[in-house]
Amino acid sequence: MKFLSTADLIIISGYLLLTLVVGLAMTRKASQNLDEYYLGGRSLPWYLLGMAGMVSWFDLTGTMMITSFLYMLGPRGLFIEFRGGVALILPFMMAFTAKWHRRSGCMTAAEWMTYRFGHNRAAGWMRLITAIMWVVLSIGMLAYLIRGTTLFMGQFLPYPPMLVTALLIGFCAIYTMLSGFYGVVLTDLVQGLIIIAASFVIGWIAFHATPNIAALGELAERVTGNPLWTSSMPPVHTPMPRGYEMYESLLMFALFYLLRNVVGGLGTGAESRYFGARNDRECGLQSMMQGLLIAFRWPLMISFAILGLLLVDRYFERPASVEAAAAIIHRHYPDTPPAFWHDVTAGIASEPGAAAPGVVAELEAVLGPGWVDKLPLVSVHGTVNPEQILPAVLLHSVPAGLRGFFLVAMLAAMMSTLTGTVNQAAAMMVRDIYQDRWRPQAGNRELIFASYGSTLLVLVLAFWMGVHAHSINDIWGWLSMSLSVSMFAPQVLRLYWWRCNGWGVVGGSLFGGIGALAQRFFLPGLVEWMQLLVMMGLSFGGTIVISLLTSPTSLDTLRHFYRTTKPFGLWGPLRAEMPAPERTAMAREHRNDILAVPFIMLAQVSLFLLAMQFVIRSWTALACTGALFLIGFAGTYRYWWKNLPPASNPGTELAEKFTAPAGAPHPPA
């Protein structure tokens, strides 16, 4: 089996050493206090935070998974990734939700809850439950990343994929623990530049790999059986391979995913990058930079998909051989769970002498002399495994040395997302669970060591969950359409409805969270659109009903929140108290913020499509999409850029800490 060359290993080792040095260099500064450790002292410039945000969207597992959909569908795979990969929640953060959260002066999403609902019994429980739910969601996200890393690394080194992944995770844990948010942001800068350079290089290779769009369409139809591979329009129905039948109703799923992102986007913004922003203006600027830079992800992934088509066409002249090879594995290893299928095939390919008797001879007869390189592409369903396209292309279609450069880019994508997620989860465990509930008098040294322990605990739990997942698509579907949706109502209603109270958020979180976990254990095969509707119903129903059955949040707490955050929505009793000039100014700001969102979203989606259409030479579609991009750009300029706070007065000051007095009155019902 072909593995990495010495040149590749030297490049990768150099990158890991550089990353560790950066982390160690920031250890002393990060350990000063929790504000420095988790938010970089709220002093980092917007372009560094924007680069860090871009790299957090650019994760390895997501890149593998989106490449798999682009391999199967061409540019139309983008519409399946409306569920998360297209970053459709980013326009909401760019327009208003990020600056709303930053104005609180809080450190975490759970701490923000006490800013919104006060310091009472309900708020205390709500802060704890919010922290637990965010940690669980973070562990799920990390498990998804770890699962993808295991699948990725299995093709490159002659060692068990889980062992290699465990070593990488341990490395990430060391520099994340030592350097905190400073190390995350600075290493993200290096990693982001590497990823952008890799996008240009692989795009150039793929652009010259096929002579024209007609030849590419013929190749794609021969390999995937999809006659509309080069089309950019989502059809009502599209054929999908075994294991992906749920996406055949592509247009319906795109609309459901769009609904999911619109509802979810209204409650976003509670991220470390925004809590740590210097002002309102820089919240918007760093969001804009994220949206522009993640556009580089799409030409990179469509390029890997094109090279994947060429590789599969070269490897499997007889498509029936893939199904026959899968049948051989099933016969010799009948008790292999789907989650460990790749470990079995990678093990056979790397150590044929340790395989079951007769299996090597049968595989060679079916797949030919190069069976060791082809076997990792065979899926448990008897088809080409699309989730293995990206690592297979790197290993077999990219020359040594350049391969090491691309591997560094992919590892950078994995490590940046992992470290950012771990940093945020550990912040909640320390700030909102350890310090708030158990050790309120803990000193700085104790809290820093608690941060180290929290980082390790989160990674251990995520690793266990990741290695038991059936596939990266399986775990991402549950994360995006079940677990995260279970938190939609508390996240949304807290911003837009004055009557939403602490007990309502507790109830909505519990209803949705328990429902999502129960679905994962008892109905794991529930289709994604049903997961979306059920969890959204549980979340909104629980939050609204319990809020109405319990007392409102005190008027003083609501007044402090409304006057410092300045949100729009159902805030009638609080809006009526504001002086007329302030109401007019807020209404103008709200109008521009709301109108900006659809234009930003249009510009963002069309920009992603433009990048892919250029790589596949789809010039007619490029012209049409370009017109849509100009419309989105014009609206973004008119309603967002022209109304961005000026550098001379870049936004509101942070809210001061507030405790509502005992016996404070309630606003009128």
Tokens of 112: 């923000």
Is pLDDT at 395 greater than 90 in this prediction?
Answer: no
Contact 138, 424 (CB under 8 A): yes
Same domain, 493 and 543: yes
Beta bridge partners of 570: 497
Q: What is the pLDDT of residues 435-464, one digit of tens each?
A: 877 887 877 778 777 877 887 888 888 877
Q: What is the pLDDT of residues 112-156, one digit of tens each?
A: 888 998 887 777 777 787 777 778 777 777 777 777 777 777 667
Average the pLDDT over each of 239-248, 498-507, 565-574 and give the range with the smallest value.
239-248
Tokens of 360: 């090597």
* Measured CA distances, 151 to 69, 75, 298, 479, 642 (Å): 16, 24, 21, 19, 46
Domain assignment of residue 280, yes or no: yes
Domain assignment of residue 570, yes or no: yes
Averaged pLDDT, 91-119: 89
Same domain, 294 and 412: yes
What is the spatial distance between Cα 460 and Cα 198, in angstroms, rounded to a whole number?
31
Contact 74, 231 (CB under 8 A): yes
* Measured CA distances, 129 to 110, 122, 230 (Å): 8, 10, 46
Is pLDDT at 428 greater than 70 in this prediction?
Answer: yes
Domain assignment of residue 219, yes or no: yes
pLDDT band at 45 (very low <50, low <70, confident <90, very high): confident
Residue with tokens 């709303």: 100
Burial of 545 (C-beta count, 10 Å sphere; 0-12/13-18/19+): middle
pLDDT given at position 79 = 93
Residue with tokens 């001061």: 656
- The helix/strand/coil state of 570 is strand
Same domain, 180 and 72: yes
The conformation of residue 175, written as its DSSP 8-state character, comes to H
pLDDT given at position 161 = 73
Contact 428, 33 (CB under 8 A): no
Q: What is the pLDDT of residues 153-167, one digit of tens each?
A: 766 777 777 778 788
Same domain, 230 and 345: no
Is pLDDT at 478 greater than 80 in this prediction?
Answer: no
Domain assignment of residue 661, yes or no: no
Tokens of 259: 């609904």
Residue type for 257, please? Y
- What CATH number is given to the structural domain containing 425? 1.20.1730.10
- Which carries the bigger pLDDT value, residue 335 or residue 293? 293
Same domain, 470 and 335: no
- Residue 373, CB half-sphere, CA atoms under 13 Å: how many? 16
pLDDT given at position 357 = 87
Tell me what percent of the chain is helix, strand and coil, each rounded to the nearest 5: 75, 0, 25
Residue with tokens 């002659």: 158
State the CB neighbour count (10 A cutoff) for residue 661: 8
Same domain, 27 and 147: yes
pLDDT band at 664 (very low <50, low <70, confident <90, very high): very low
pLDDT given at position 582 = 92
Please name the residues in contact with 460: beta carbons below 8 A apart, sequence gap of 6 or more.
none
Q: Give the CA radius of gyration of the chain.
A: 25
Domain assignment of residue 484, yes or no: yes
Contact 396, 373 (CB under 8 A): yes
Same domain, 441 and 464: yes
- Residue 121, CB half-sphere, CA atoms under 13 Å: how many? 2
Same domain, 213 and 338: no
Tokens of 65: 């998974």
Q: What is the pLDDT of residues 182-237, one digit of tens each?
A: 666 777 777 788 888 889 999 999 999 888 999 999 999 999 988 999 999 888 88
Provide φ and ψ at 281, rounded to 5°: -55, -45
Residue type for 617, please? R
As for how many domains the chain has, the answer is 2
Domain assignment of residue 653, yes or no: no
- Which carries the bigger pLDDT value, residue 5 or residue 391? 391
- The helix/strand/coil state of 396 is helix
Provide φ and ψ at 384, rounded to 5°: -65, 130
pLDDT band at 363 (very low <50, low <70, confident <90, very high): very high
Same domain, 552 and 627: yes
Burial 74-100 (b: 16+ CB within 10 A, else e): bbbbbbbbbbbbbbbbbbbbbbbbbbb
Average the pLDDT over each of 130-144, 333-347, 542-556, 630-644 and give the range with the smallest value.
130-144
Domain span at residue 292?
6-313+399-643
- Which carries the bigger pLDDT value, residue 13 or residue 26? 13
Tokens of 305: 């998909």
Domain assignment of residue 298, yes or no: yes
Contact 561, 660 (CB under 8 A): no
Same domain, 364 and 419: no
What average pLDDT does the structure give for the chain? 84
Same domain, 291 and 351: no
Report the range out of 400-404, 530-534, 620-624 with the highest average pLDDT.
Answer: 620-624
Same domain, 67 and 90: yes
Burial of 245 (C-beta count, 10 Å sphere; 0-12/13-18/19+): exposed
The conformation of residue 644, written as its DSSP 8-state character, comes to S
Is pLDDT at 31 greater than 60 in this prediction?
Answer: no
pLDDT given at position 36 = 56
* Measured CA distances, 141 to 136, 417, 478, 500, 529 (Å): 9, 9, 10, 28, 20
Domain assignment of residue 410, yes or no: yes
